[in-house]
Amino acid sequence: MSVAPTTEARLTAVAARLQTDGRLPSLVAGITRGPELAWSCGRGDVDGATPDDDVQYRIGSITKTVTAIAVMRLRDEGVLSLDDPVERHVPGTPYGDRTVGQLLGHSGGLSAESPTQWWERSEGLSWAELIARLSDEDVKHPAGRRFHYSNLGYAVLGEVLSRSRHKPWADVLRDEVLLPLGMTRTTTRPSGRAAQGYAVHPWADVVLREPEHDAGAMGPAGQLWATLTDLGRFAWFLLGHTGDVLDPSTLEEMAGPGTVDGSSLGWSAYGLGLQVIRVEGRTYVGHGGSMPGFIAGVFVDPLEQTGAVAATNATSGLATGGLISLLDIVRQNEPHVVEPWRPSSSVDPETLELTGTWYWGTSAYGLRLTADGLLHLLGLQGAGRESRFRRRGDAWVGLDGYHAGETLRPVHESGSVVALDLGSFVFSRTPYDAVAPIPGGVDPDGWQPA
């Protein structure tokens, strides 16, 4: 599905301005509203020609998201748990008590970079060489205490992948994520037509070639190269079209805000391998990437089912705001048309009995069953802790909000549901209903005038 000519003109004008104002040797940008790009644009020059959708650029830390997806596949298979200490999978590190989940979310407290020369501009080390240089000095913060972006943590996750699958981390990413998504032009080193990375002088319109090396053990943090076409396919994946690569619920889990990036001027958080940002009331999910000579980004607007992707061969000059501006243009000119509402094809009578009005103390709530089989707890009278719940056996587990991960269980009496137990909170059909097992009991005199 392509965009309208008027929208295309506006998008192209913004891309042109980004390339000129940012003084970028070349820029490719695109919009996806399906598995293929709906719009794309190339500006500047690569090897004497305008870059197209098949020119490779290094995508830097977007590699982390691909690495995280492969790790989450291991979790879903039961090979590991997010609570597993690193020592269980990669023995011998000086921070083996940090968990897999903490490394995914940059809350493990590890140093930002590796204990080597500037790894992004130097020939990489093997895992054996890297681990020989690690020490307690690479732990900068207590585990789980704060967000601290760590490239080193993702090097460890790459080793977790290698040892769990018994093959190099790059092969795991290729076989389990990239090729199944049709990202055939995403590789660990430049292949085919690829852009040279440059640094642009801050005070003169001249450029300097940036070096490019195999990052070795640090590769899982930023090694991959990709084309705009492949980035567009990755954006479509991030919009929930996960195919056989990942369960949609796992992707949703990854996109849940975890640790907050306190250095950001706006609302910015990190999930499990995904950046989550809030701009003017809208939430965007994706990841940016930079390496010497390159900047790339992929961010999606889940509500609009639209993604924006871009890549350039400059060390600086392209901010995430440029991608957001592209998404804004599409939303304003061609807003997403949602699917028609349709009633459920079947309904469980016992579940239907749970719907309606409930009270936690004197706070009113509504419990609504949707066609996708989820229960939505809605705050009434202008307040309330809202959450969605998915069925698991005889109970329901919270997906988001205050009750994320908590269990909701119907309480039966004489064959009827008289209450809901939500993490020990008891909801009754009327405020402090005497037939419900209200903790502490209910005054036998009932409600009285003041």
Q: For 104-129, what is each residue's pLDDT tens digit?
A: 999 998 888 888 878 778 888 888 98
Contact criterion met (CB below 8 Å) for 90 and 156:
yes
Cα separation values, 243 from 179, 180, 236, Å: 12, 8, 10
**Alpha carbon of residue 240 to chain centroid:** 11
Q: Do the bridges between strand 282-291 and strand 267-270 make them parallel or antiparallel, or are there none, so unpaired? A: unpaired
What's the sign of the alpha-carbon dihedral 279, 285, 291, 293?
negative
Contact criterion met (CB below 8 Å) for 71 and 103:
no
C-alpha neighbours within 13 Å on the C-beta side of residue 290: 11
Contact criterion met (CB below 8 Å) for 180 and 186:
no
> What does 200-267 look like in DSSP terms, one character per residue?
E-TTSS-EEEPP----BTTGGGT--EE-HHHHHHHHHHHTT--TTTS-HHHHHHHTS--EE-TT-SSE
Element containing residue 306 per DSSP (H, E): strand 306-312
**What is the per-residue burial (b if ≥16 Cβ within 10 Å, else e) of 288-309?**
bbbbbbbbbbbbbbbebbbbbb
Give residue 384's pLDDT.
Answer: 84
Question: Helices (DSSP H) in 105-244: which residue ranges?
Answer: 127-131, 151-165, 169-173, 228-238
Could you give the maximum distance between any two Cα atoms of the chain, in Å?
A: 88
Which residue's entry shows tokens 């950046």?
275
pTM of model > 0.85: yes
Q: What is the dihedral of CA 244, 250, 255, 259, to 10 degrees?
A: -140
Q: What is d(CA 41, CA 217) in angstroms, rounded to the nearest whole number?
A: 34
Give residue 168's pLDDT.
Answer: 97
Which residue's entry shows tokens 């958080």?
269
Give residue 286's pLDDT.
Answer: 98
Give residue 264's pLDDT.
Answer: 65
Dump pLDDT digits (tens) for 185-229.
999 999 999 999 999 999 999 999 999 999 999 999 999 999 999
Q: What is d(CA 419, CA 429) in angstroms, rounded to the nearest whole number?
A: 7
Q: What is d(CA 320, CA 288) in angstroms, rounded to the nearest whole number?
A: 7
Element containing residue 63 per DSSP (H, E): helix 62-77
Cα separation values, 405 from 60, 276, 386, Å: 33, 20, 13
Contact criterion met (CB below 8 Å) for 186 and 175:
no
Contact criterion met (CB below 8 Å) for 195 and 49:
no
* Radius of gyration of the chain measured on its C-alpha atoms: 25
Q: Which two tokens stand for residue 269?
A: 């958080």
Phi/psi zone of residue 47: left (φ > 0), alpha (ψ -120 to 50 degrees), beta? left
Q: What is d(CA 137, CA 110) in angstroms, rounded to the nearest whole number?
A: 9
Q: What is d(CA 30, CA 297) in angstroms, rounded to the nearest whole number?
A: 11
For residue 292, what is the DSSP state? T
327: helix, strand or coil? helix
Give residue 181's pLDDT.
Answer: 98
Which residue's entry shows tokens 């064959």?
415
> CB within 8 A of 310, min separation 6: which ones?
15, 18, 27, 28, 29, 30, 228, 296, 297, 318, 322, 323, 326
Give the residues of the chain that fall short of pLDDT 50: none
C-alpha neighbours within 13 Å on the C-beta side of residue 67: 35
Angle in degrees, 0-180, between the axes of helices 228-238 and 62-77, rounded to the nearest 10: 40
